Chains A and B, each alone.
Chain A
């Protein structure tokens, strides 16, 4: 009976400690998934992005290779979220972003682009500038007329200028400069 209040006190202390640890771990994990580490340097990783999970209606959770990058606009730099897509020949942005980037698409060559379903959409061939590893990198892009088009980083100008590694061990995408 003498020790009962001590046991209750210890139990409550343990519960509060556990809550603090769980909350702390949650906050640390969220911070880790949000952070993008920029390490300037020619040979080291210039950007490491933790995997992001997306819940797909028919497939459940899957890796979503998304990356937040500063993009040069007419009014300074603006961070856009891109899907890294090795299946895309060239990077793509919706045409609604062209004006923000200071691009007059009516002066750009008009082409058609095709999705995997064979659906053709018109797009305009241009260029935009991303900031990667403290460097401005011009990237060829098509501005799609499809209002639902995503921001995509494709092969030309991105995959051929940088090494992009999907590291399942560290659950991250690592972008490095080319060795050559």
Chain B
């Protein structure tokens, strides 16, 4: 055997050794490849108990409400009012849902920048407003109290940076008003529709850029939505961008609104 080995060329010895080592190291390389270098802790977004903030920050101006997030919810669901000059929990400050003041037991936290509340029992859809030391402010949108009978639903369905806004059970609706909020990523959204001509307004809020889309809904499209989801808008986003539905209202010819919910609210694909 020694004789055979001594006759074996160094090239062959090197090749065989290299091949054996490469085969043994292959799973290690694979493991390293599928475990990317992390730039943040995995422990982000830890669920934490949230005591109601009792710190009051004296408002530097009139209160403002930028956004009510989410714009719908069932009884007991958490809702965030994002704004400015909201002060804090105070006997002379109130939060109203459809004109009814929320009790302290429905408030989860209250800071100068946001108020978190739970949708109270017997709540009804309507405006969300605050009164901070007697100074009022209201959100431009409508908050919908949903339950098992709420059938109208908007969905963002997409892949490869292309999303469709679909609607289901919006029979009778003739106008759509929607806010698309870009919460991360650069660049503009491109919004179009195959069913009608949307009008677009873009404005910036401290929480992000809002694309407000208003569009007439053809009667046939609204009627078809009872049988299957219908596409209302096509939205193209940029790589790495996340956006969502921050406000949605579907109007009836008499000016009333169809209570609507949405899932998922934010998409990143």
Are the CB atoms of B5 and A9 closer together than 8 Å?
yes
Tell me, in angstroms, the Cα distance from A24 to B41 when the chains sit together.
34
Interface check A87, CB cutoff 8 A: yes
Q: Select A20's contact among B20, B38, B43, B261, beta carbons within 8 Å.
A: B20
* Min CB–CB distance A70 → chain B (angstroms): 20
Question: Which residues 68-90 of B sit at the A interface, judged by CB distance below 8 A?
Answer: 69-70, 73-74, 76-78, 80
* Min CB–CB distance B152 → chain A (angstroms): 13
Are the CB atoms of A19 and B48 closer together than 8 Å?
no
Closest B residue, CB atoms, query A113: B47
Assuming the contacts A16-B16, A23-B23, A27-B24, asked whether A121 and B3 have C-beta atoms less than 8 A apart, the reply is no
Assuming the contacts A54-B38, A110-B78, A147-B242, asked whether A142 and B5 have C-beta atoms less than 8 A apart, the reply is no
Q: Select A115's contact among B5, B37, B45, beta carbons within 8 Å.
A: B45
Highest count of chain B CB atoms <10 Å: which of A89, A115, A149:
A115
Count how many pairs of residues, one from A and one from B, have CB atoms less than 8 Å apart in the complex.
146
Are the CB atoms of B28 and A116 closer together than 8 Å?
no
Contact-residue bracket for chain B = 35 or more
Are the CB atoms of B6 and A112 closer together than 8 Å?
no
Given known contacts A12-B5, A54-B35, A152-B46, what 5 new A-B pairs fall within 8 Å (CB)? A30-B31, A120-B80, A142-B47, A145-B264, A150-B42
Are the CB atoms of B2 and A26 closer together than 8 Å?
no
Interface check A76, CB cutoff 8 A: no
Closest A residue, CB atoms, query B41: A116
Cβ contacts A to B, 24 pairs, < 8 Å: A5-B7, A9-B5, A16-B17, A23-B20, A23-B23, A24-B24, A27-B27, A30-B27, A54-B38, A55-B38, A57-B38, A64-B42, A85-B46, A89-B48, A110-B73, A112-B116, A114-B46, A114-B50, A122-B69, A145-B264, A147-B267, A148-B268, A150-B44, A152-B43
Closest B residue, CB atoms, query A96: B264
Across the interface, which residues of A come within 8 angstroms of B77, CB to CB? 109-110
Interface check A92, CB cutoff 8 A: yes
Q: Which 7 A-B pairs have the closest CB atoms?
A: A9-B2, A9-B6, A23-B24, A110-B77, A113-B47, A26-B24, A5-B6
Are the CB atoms of B46 and A26 closer together than 8 Å?
no
* Min CB–CB distance A154 → chain B (angstroms): 7
Tell me, in angstroms, the Cα distance from A142 to B48 when the chains sit together.
11
Interface check B159, CB cutoff 8 A: no
Are the CB atoms of B108 and A19 closer together than 8 Å?
no
Question: Which residues 1-60 of B sit at the A interface, judged by CB distance below 8 A?
Answer: 1-8, 10, 13, 16-17, 20-21, 23-25, 27-28, 31, 35, 37-39, 41-50
Interface check A172, CB cutoff 8 A: no
Across the interface, which residues of B come within 8 angstroms of A123, CB to CB? 47
Across the interface, which residues of B come within 8 angstroms of A147, CB to CB? 242, 266-268
Q: Select A112's contact among B4, B16, B78, beta carbons within 8 Å.
A: B78
Are the CB atoms of B3 and A88 closer together than 8 Å?
no
Contact-residue bracket for chain A = 35 or more
Are the CB atoms of A19 and B20 closer together than 8 Å?
yes
Tell me, in angstroms, the Cα distance from A14 to B184 when the chains sit together.
59
Closest B residue, CB atoms, query A83: B42
Interface check B265, CB cutoff 8 A: yes
Are the CB atoms of B47 and A6 closer together than 8 Å?
no
Interface check B263, CB cutoff 8 A: yes
Question: Which residues 85-122 of A sit at the B interface, judged by CB distance below 8 A?
Answer: 85, 87-90, 92, 95, 105-106, 109-117, 119-122
Closest B residue, CB atoms, query A18: B17
Q: Select B46's contact among A15, A27, A64, A113, beta carbons within 8 Å.
A: A113
Are the CB atoms of B46 and A87 closer together than 8 Å?
yes
